[in-house]
Amino acid sequence: MVDRASLLKLDPDLGSELPDESCALAAERLIVRLERLPAGDWHPQPDEFGARGGIGLLIGDGFIVRHVKLEHRAGAEVLGPGDLLRPWQDDGEYAVYPYVPGWRAVTGVTFAVLDLAFASRLGPFPQVTAAITGRAMSRSRRVAGHLVLAQLASVEHRVLLVLWQLADLWGRVRPDGVLLPVPLTHRLLGLTIGARRPSVTTALGALAEQDLVRSLGREGFLLLGPPPQDLPLLRGAATSSLPSRALLSAPPV
């Protein structure tokens, strides 16, 4: 049996700009097929889930990492609920320096399939089309932000700031801190900030000793205290200037 759902019930923010009189009709007509992916390596086919020719795949829940490799160098981005992807698009097969792409679902993932049939139903609802386009733009800008973080001198700073950046998107406030439910391995986390796994392991240990970050295994990470606003840290100063939890004064997310 094929699972289907209303896109606007799955992701209400996509309909936030619709006029009130259009909301009910859009929720009724914009029905999407749901496909599920188990945790593990993913090798998408050229027409994965029959979405090629349409808009793409929208993550409803779960987290997946897209990584690219060029010779002995690699980088990655974390994708989660609300992100749009088109895995059949290559990474420059005919470019001067073609990348080798790869995917890994770090949790089970549910995709809303925005195929050609769905795209044909979007016409009366341009606000939803604009919101979906905005998701693609947000993703590209987030990658640019990670490039900036990767230039900080301290791996501790990079780890701390990228975890807070991801928590700003998907974090959940708890009495003991902000839960980031993305169970990244040290290697995958390192790929997002341009650091090797041993350096990430050392950095997470130091952050734990300072009561700033706690690794929770398959639950992800717990961020303690408010997000850092220390300007020397943002300038990439030496690790010794990393503020302790008691010195962080910005309000929590």
Question: Mean pLDDT by 10-residue block, N- to C-terminus, for the chain (253 residues)?
Answer: 90 96 96 97 92 95 94 92 90 72 96 96 96 94 89 91 96 96 96 95 96 95 88 54 45 38
Per-residue model confidence (pLDDT) at position 232: 60
> Alpha-carbon distance 55 to 193, whole Å?
29
Per-residue model confidence (pLDDT) at position 247: 39
Go through the domains of the chain in sequence order and give each one's CATH number. 4-148 (2.60.120.10), 150-247 (1.10.10.10)
Distances (CA, A) of 108 to 53, 59, 114, 137, 243: 25, 11, 19, 25, 35
> 154 near 236, Cβ under 8 Å?
yes
Neighbours of 108 (CB within 10 A): 14
Per-residue model confidence (pLDDT) at position 235: 62
> 193 near 158, Cβ under 8 Å?
yes
Nearest to 169 by CA among 195, 152, 146, 199: 146
Q: Which two tokens stand for residue 140?
A: 């590209």
Per-residue model confidence (pLDDT) at position 202: 97
Which residues touch 155 (CB under 8 Å, ≥6 apart)? 193, 195, 199, 200, 202, 203
Return the sign of the alpha-carbon dihedral for residues 56, 57, 59, 60.
positive
pTM listed for this prediction:
0.88
Q: Which two tokens stand for residue 38?
A: 């188990």
Can you name the residues that pair with 66 across neighbouring β-strands?
A: 77, 103
> Alpha-carbon distance 131 to 15, whole Å?
8
